[in-house]
């Protein structure tokens, strides 16, 4: 079997030399364990934080050991009554061809609902992040005007479509290329802009048009776009702080948002969240999302890279915006 290890910690932007592909021996199964042949693995922005040696909400990756993260695979051997050979499961040991882990640490999925990779994206953690962040953390209500950054990405593209499906008055998205902006309009966003085209505040005001301001901002990127959103929030607006990818690779302390004090007068709510704390919504989310997907109300994109050996580059490219929708690595 093969696995990808962390060879050194990135300083600033990750580079291929930070990673190493290694051959390993698959250990014998112990009682209660399963052997999973991974079909696909996820690369996610939060993994960048785990490559630093700092305490955060998830433990740092160890040097010279396999990375880990979301994966979907097929059980090929089992010493547990809970899982059978042939089951398709989601689990946390990506970045390797074969995973040995406790059956209890795997989640069985129904492959008749969608292709296996969907359980790493729209029907998995990504989708729940969008749903919980919008409906609970940002307390979305029908009639709200919603702005989401990173809108062509995995989480963001779902946020915008879920907001539309649930009765948003207007949904605005931002992304990093003209192609992505065009794609957002195809997905049903009312307006979209390329944040490289000028100051975010002006671009956002332009996208709002006649509309007074925004009620909900779903923040995937932080920095300048967060500052722009604060500037155009309506009174009592709610901001869900989901991610801050614009600062994940920076080596200096960020400056924006410089207008945070205006949140006082507008009586805004800014609330950070972690999807793991909202697992109680998983059932409700799965029911709604499978309905929306079946009806074609929500669509999801995948950017697929083939081969474990290409996973480090897929991760680096994700940070640079090479993906539309969920960035995945398939392991043929």
**DSSP code per residue over 204-236:** HHHHHTT---EEEEEESS-HHHHHHHHHHEEEE
**Nearest of 174, 168, 177 to residue 204 by alpha carbon:** 174
The size of the interface with ligand NDP (CB under 6 A), counted in residues, is: 30
Q: How many other β-carbons are positioned within 10 Å of the β-carbon of residue 99?
A: 27
Pick the closer one to ligand NDP by CB: 195 or 217. Answer: 195
Strand partners, 194: 175
Interface mask toward ligand NDP for 2-31; x: CB under 6 A: ------------------------------
Q: How far is the CB of 225 from ligand NDP (least distance, A)?
A: 7
Question: Which one of the spans 3-11, 40-48, 229-237, 251-259 is the region binding ligand NDP (CB under 6 A)?
Answer: 40-48
Pick the closer one to ligand NDP by CB: 152 or 308. Answer: 152
Return the residue of 90, 114, 242, 268 that touches ligand NDP, per CB under 6 A: 242
302 near ligand NDP, judged by CB under 6 A: no
154 near ligand NDP, judged by CB under 6 A: yes
Q: Could you give the 3-state DSSP secondary structure of residue 49?
A: helix
Pick the closer one to ligand NDP by CB: 19 or 248. Answer: 248
52 near ligand NDP, judged by CB under 6 A: no
Q: How far is the CB of 180 from ligand NDP (least distance, A)?
A: 6
256 DSSP 8-state letter:
-
46 near ligand NDP, judged by CB under 6 A: yes
Q: How far apart are CA 17 and CA 145, in angstroms?
A: 44
**Nearest of 239, 44, 287 to residue 154 by alpha carbon:** 44
On the 0-12 / 13-18 / 19+ scale of CB atoms within 10 A, 252 is exposed
**Nearest of 224, 173, 181 to residue 200 by alpha carbon:** 224
70 near ligand NDP, judged by CB under 6 A: no
Question: Which one of the spans 8-16, 18-26, 43-51, 282-290 is the region binding ligand NDP (CB under 6 A)?
Answer: 43-51
Token pair for residue 190?
């009312």
Token pair for residue 162?
């879920």
CB within 8 Å of 270: residues ≥ 6 apart:
239, 241, 263
Please name the residue that has the structure tokens 């050996």: 309
Pick the closer one to ligand NDP by CB: 175 or 331. Answer: 175
Q: How far is the CB of 324 from ligand NDP (least distance, A)?
A: 8
Residues that bind ligand NDP in the complex, under the rule CB under 6 A: 44-46, 126, 129, 150, 152-156, 175-177, 180, 195, 220-221, 242-243, 245-246, 273-275, 318-319, 321, 323, 327
């Amino acid at each position: 079997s093969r696995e990808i290890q962390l060879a050194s910690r990135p300083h600033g932007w990750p580079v291929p030399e930070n990673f190493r592909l290694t051959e390993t021996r698959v250990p014998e199964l112990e009682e209660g364990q399963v052997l999973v042949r991974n079909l696909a693995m996820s690369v996610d922005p939060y993994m960048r934080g785990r490559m630093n040696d700092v305490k955060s909400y998830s433990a740092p990756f160890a040097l010279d050991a396999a990375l880990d993260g979301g994966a979907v695979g097929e059980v090929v051997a089992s010493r547990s009554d809970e899982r059978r050979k042939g089951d398709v499961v989601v689990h946390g040991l990506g970045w390797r061809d074969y995973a040995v882990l406790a059956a209890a640490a795997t989640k069985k999925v129904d492959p008749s609902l969608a292709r296996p990779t969907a359980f790493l994206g729209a029907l998995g953690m990504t989708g729940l992040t969008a749903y919980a962040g919008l409906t609970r953390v940002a307390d979305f209500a029908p009639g709200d005007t919603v702005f989401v950054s990173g809108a062509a990405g995995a989480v963001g593209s779902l946020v915008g479509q879920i907001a539309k499906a649930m009765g948003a008055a207007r949904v605005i998205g931002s992304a990093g290329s003209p192609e992505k902006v065009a794609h957002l309009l195809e997905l049903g966003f009312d307006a979209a802009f390329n944040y490289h085209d000028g100051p975010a505040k002006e671009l956002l005001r332009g996208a709002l048009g006649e509309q007074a301001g925004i009620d909900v901002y779903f923040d995937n990127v932080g920095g300048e776009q967060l500052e722009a959103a604060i500037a155009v929030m309506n009174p009592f607006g709610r901001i869900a702080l989901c991610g801050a990818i614009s600062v994940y690779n920076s080596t200096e302390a960020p400056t924006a948002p410089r207008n945070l004090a205006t949140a006082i007068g507008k009586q805004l709510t800014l609330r950070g969240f972690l999807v793991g704390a909202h697992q109680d919504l998983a059932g409700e989310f799965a029911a709604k999302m499978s309905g929306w997907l079946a009806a074609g109300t929500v669509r999801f994109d995948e950017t697929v890279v083939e081969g474990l050996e290409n996973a480090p580059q897929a991760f680096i490219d994700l940070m640079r915006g090479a993906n539309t929708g969920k960035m995945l690595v398939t392991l043929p």
